[in-house]
Amino acid sequence: MQLPTNVSSLRGMIEVPGDKSISHRAVMLGALASGRTVIDHFLPGADCLSTIDCFRKLGVDIRQDGTTVVVEGAGPGGLREPAAVLDVGNSGTTARLLLGILAGQPFHACLVGDESIAKRPMGRVTKPLREMGARIDGREGGNYTPLSIRGGALRPLCYTSPVASAQVKSAILLAGLFADGVTSVAEPHRSRDHTERMVRLFGGEVNVDGLTVSVAGPQRLRGTHIYVPGDISSAAFFLVAGAIVPNSEITLKNVGLNPTRTGIIDVLTQMGADIAIDNVRHEETEPVGDITVRTSTLRAVEIGGDLIPRLIDEIPIIALLATQAEGTTVIKDASELKVKETNRIHTVVTELKKLGADIEATDDGMMIRGKTPLYADGIVVDSHGDHRIGMMLAVAACIAKGTVRLERSEAVAVSYPAFFADLRSLL
C-alpha cells in the first residue's frame, strides 16, 4: 500500500472504534452470564471476531450486526464441549483469557492460533491454571500453542505474578469465578483493570487491595448492557499524528479514559503537547471523553517503571513521537514488548531506521534522539503482520519526505479495520 507522505496538515473529527480489550471481555462475560447481554460500539476487528467464533463453538448463541452484538448467556454450567478446535487467530487476549474460562469447565478443549500466536508464551497462564487443578498440555510442556485443556473442580489460588499483565491477571480471576474459595493475583505494578470493572457490571464481586485483586468463587453473573468506549490504543495513533504533523488539529470523540490505560496522555503532556480533554463522563463503569490535540513543540522524556503497563501497546507510536522531540527519549522496563505480536523493540527500531530515525534498541526498551527529520526515497516498510507497527508506520509516513510503501498493511484490520479511511478523512 502506498502511504500519504509529506502531509501539510491533518484536521477534523473522528470516532475511533470500540476498545479491543473491553470488546473481548464483554463477549466472554456475556457468554458466562445468565440472560441476555447487549454490546454497543463493539470492535468488529479480526481479534474480537475470533473471540465470538470460539464462544459460538462452545455453544453460545451470539448475533453480530456491525458494531452491535447480542449474547444469549449460557449461565452456570451452560458452556458445551466443542466439537471443533478453538482457533484464536492472532489474538493473545482470546487465547489467555479463554484458557482461564476453560480451566473451570468439566470438559476437554483444544486451542490453536496463527503463526504469531504459536510464538507467544502461554506458560505464564498455564502454570497458575495448573496449580488450580486444570490439566493442560501442549507444545514445549504447555508453554506454546497448540494447547489441550481439561478443566473443572478448581482450587482457589493466591498467585504473585512476576509481570504486570492484564491477560495473566484476568485469566486467573476468570478461573477463580469457578473455584470454591478466594483466588487472588498480586502484581508488581497495576495493569489495566477492565476485567475487574466488568465483573462488577455483570453483578459479580471483586476486591481490590493495592496491587492485589481477588474474587470469591463460585459466582453467578447476570446479563447486562455494555457501551464500549473508543479504544485509547487506537486513538493514540491520531493523538501522535496531531502532535507531529504541521498545522494539525484533531478531535477524537468518545475515547475511553480508564486511568490504567491513559499513559499515552501522560507522556504527551510531559512532552509538552497541546492536548485537551472535554466532555468527561462515565459509560457504565468506564470513564469516557473527547480529546483534542494540536501540532506541538515537544521535548524528550524518560519512560519506565509503573508507567509501562499503562501504555505498553502504545510504545511503537510513542517511539515515533520521540523522533520529533528535542533531546534523547529513553524507554525502559519494557521487555514485555519482546513477546507481543512481534518483538516490538526490534521491529520498531528496524522500521524507523529505514526512514532515518536516530533510534537504537536496548535490552528492555529503546533510545531515541530527536528532533530528526524523516526521509523516504521509495522506501518499503513492513508491518511484520503486527497491526500496531502498521499504523505507526502510516503516521510516520505522514511526516516523511518522499514516497513510502507499506507491506502487509492488512494486519491493521486486527484492531482498526477503518484506520486508513479515517486517516484519509483528515487529509
Query: Which residues are the active-site residues?
Result: 313
Distance of alpha carbon 12 from alpha carbon 10, whole angstroms: 7
167 is in an annotated binding site: yes
Nearest alpha carbon to residue 204 among 234, 183, 186: 183
Cα-Cα-Cα-Cα dihedral sign, residues 208, 213, 217, 219: positive
Distance of alpha carbon 125 from alpha carbon 411, whole angstroms: 26
Ramachandran assignment for 70, one of left (phi > 0), alpha (psi -120 to 50 degrees), beta (any other): beta
Cα-Cα-Cα-Cα dihedral sign, residues 373, 377, 383, 387: positive
Distance of alpha carbon 39 from alpha carbon 174, whole angstroms: 20
Give the other-Cβ count within 10 Å of 305's Cβ: 10
388 is in an annotated binding site: yes
Task: Please answer whether residues 150 and 138 qualify as being in contact, where contact means their C-beta atoms are separated by less than 8 angstroms.
Answer: no
25 is in an annotated binding site: yes
20 is in an annotated binding site: yes
Q: Give the C-alpha distances (Å, rounded to integers) separating 205 from 28, 177, 202, 220, 316.
A: 17, 10, 9, 10, 36
120 is in an annotated binding site: yes
Distance of alpha carbon 311 from alpha carbon 319, whole angstroms: 12
92 is in an annotated binding site: yes
List binding-site positions.
20-21, 25, 92, 120, 165, 167, 313, 340, 344, 388
List binding-site positions for 3-phosphoshikimate.
20-21, 25, 165, 167, 313, 340
List binding-site positions for phosphoenolpyruvate.
20, 92, 120, 167, 344, 388
